[in-house]
């Protein structure tokens, strides 16, 4: 046996060993299968990636946002300068900020498409109503995060967009004025406004977003994506059949009673 193919088979063995080890102690493989494999309707399967695309862009926002924080300074006298530094001095600063900016824009578009897909396919119907509601909460959170993020630039664009946005909000009945004063940190836009928008943009709402994303995914896995019922049932039947065969094989292989995935799957 050549040295290369020997190394290769050793690596494969080691890999298998690690995977088995983790599976036995943490059930990692089972969890991965549970989270990653999802039967989707055959027709128009690409359209079911819109939710994942949203999640991907939100992840990008978190990653690039955390990177921006290494240089961004949330005070009225330094915010603009620090972004100037990011754009002109920091290595790949234009790229990191550019991704944060464009991904925020695409995020809102993709969320819109995702919602449209769920709406037109009737995916919001029983028993998935709660996931639609959680989705609406997520949409509102993202919209407010995007609004507060734009103010952080503290340039003419960001400032006036914020003024206009707050004036629009101020027309809400009863709570409008108070909400705006809460956001501004007083009765005029000023240093307090930037501090608050910063706190809301990078801490409060991202922290609120995370658990709602968790609930959204949990509910999604609980009910599966909605599709053509016939196709759906067909594929589910095939999948279950394959699983049964696999288990049977495993049982035959080692001659021991099987207490693996099937049991766990039954329980949930």
Partner 1 sequence: MAELQKDPMTRGDFLGFGVLGTIVGALLTIPPAAFILGPVIDVNVRGESDVPDDWFRAGHVSEVPPDEPKAFVVAFPLNQVYSERQVIEEGVDTQEQTLRNAIWTSWKDLKPPGFIAELGQNRTPGISREQVIEAQGALNVLSSSCAHLGCPVRWLVKEDGGEFLCPCHGGIYDINGAYVGGPPPRGMYRYTYEVREDGYIYVKHEFDVGGDKGSQKPFVI
Enumerate binding residues for partner 1 (CB under 8 A). 75-77, 160, 163-164, 166-168, 170, 177-178, 180-182, 184-192, 195
How near is the Cβ of 103 to ligand HEM at its closest, in Å?
A: 8
**Nearer CB in complex with ligand HEM: 48/72:** 72
Do 107 and 65 contact (CB within 8 A), yes or no? no
Q: From CA 217, how far away is CA 146, in angstroms rounded?
A: 22
Rounded to the nearest 5°, which phi and psi values hold at 60?
A: -55, -40
Identify what 261 binds: partner 1, ligand HEM, none; CB under 5 to 8 Å per kind: none
- For position 109 contacting ligand HEM by CB under 6 A, the verdict is no
- For position 162 contacting ligand HEM by CB under 6 A, the verdict is no
Q: Which helix (H) or strand (E) holds 124?
A: none
Residue 203 tokens, joined: 């801490």
Q: From CA 95, how far away is CA 90, in angstroms rounded?
A: 10
| Residue 252: how many other CB atoms lie within 10 Å | 9
Do 107 and 142 contact (CB within 8 A), yes or no? yes
How near is the Cβ of 208 to partner 1 at its closest, in Å?
A: 14
- For position 114 contacting ligand HEM by CB under 6 A, the verdict is no
Do 37 and 72 contact (CB within 8 A), yes or no? no
Identify what 181 binds: partner 1, ligand HEM, none; CB under 5 to 8 Å per kind: partner 1
How near is the Cβ of 153 to partner 1 at its closest, in Å?
A: 17
**Nearer CB in complex with partner 1: 48/154:** 154
Report the residue from 202, 219, 220, 225 that binds ligand HEM according to the rule CB under 6 A: 202
DSSP 1: -
Q: From CA 50, how far away is CA 42, in angstroms rounded?
A: 16
Closest CA to 65 of 252, 206, 170: 206
Q: Which window, 10-18, 60-68, 226-234, 241-249, contacts ligand HEM (CB under 6 A)?
A: 60-68
**Nearer CB in complex with ligand HEM: 61/131:** 61
| Residue 229: how many other CB atoms lie within 10 Å | 9
- For position 210 contacting ligand HEM by CB under 6 A, the verdict is no
Residues contributing to the site for ligand HEM (CB under 6 A): 58, 61-62, 65-66, 68-69, 72, 83, 97, 100-101, 104, 107, 142, 145-146, 149-150, 152-153, 201-202, 206
């Amino acid at each position: 046996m050549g040295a290369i193919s020997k190394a290769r088979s050793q690596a494969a063995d080691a890999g298998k060993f690690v995977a088995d080890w983790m599976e036995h102690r943490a059930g990692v493989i089972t969890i991965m299968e549970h989270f990653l494999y999802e039967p989707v309707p055959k027709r128009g399967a690409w359209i079911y990636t819109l939710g994942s695309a949203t999640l991907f862009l939100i992840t990008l926002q978190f990653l690039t946002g955390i990177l921006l924080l290494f240089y961004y300074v949330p005070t009225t006298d330094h915010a603009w300068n620090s972004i100037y530094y990011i754009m002109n001095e920091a290595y790949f600063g234009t790229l990191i900020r550019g991704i944060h900016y464009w991904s925020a824009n695409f995020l809102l578009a993709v969320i819109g498409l995702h919602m449209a897909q769920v709406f037109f396919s009737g995916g919001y119907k029983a028993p998935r109503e709660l996931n639609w509601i959680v989705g609406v909460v997520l949409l509102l959170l993202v919209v407010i995060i995007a609004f507060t993020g734009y103010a952080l630039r503290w340039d003419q664009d960001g400032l006036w967009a914020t003024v206009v946005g707050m004036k629009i909000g101020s027309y809400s009945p009863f709570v409008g004025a108070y909400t705006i004063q809460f956001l501004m940190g007083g009765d005029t836009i000023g240093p307090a406004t930037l501090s608050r928008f910063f706190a809301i943009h990078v801490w409060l709402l991202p922290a609120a977003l995370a658990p709602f994303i968790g609930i959204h995914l949990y509910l999604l896995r609980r009910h599966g994506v909605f599709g053509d019922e016939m196709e759906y049932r067909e594929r589910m039947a095939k999948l279950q059949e394959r699983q049964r065969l696999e288990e049977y094989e495993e049982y035959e292989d080692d001659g021991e009673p099987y207490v693996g995935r099937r049991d766990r799957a039954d329980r949930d």
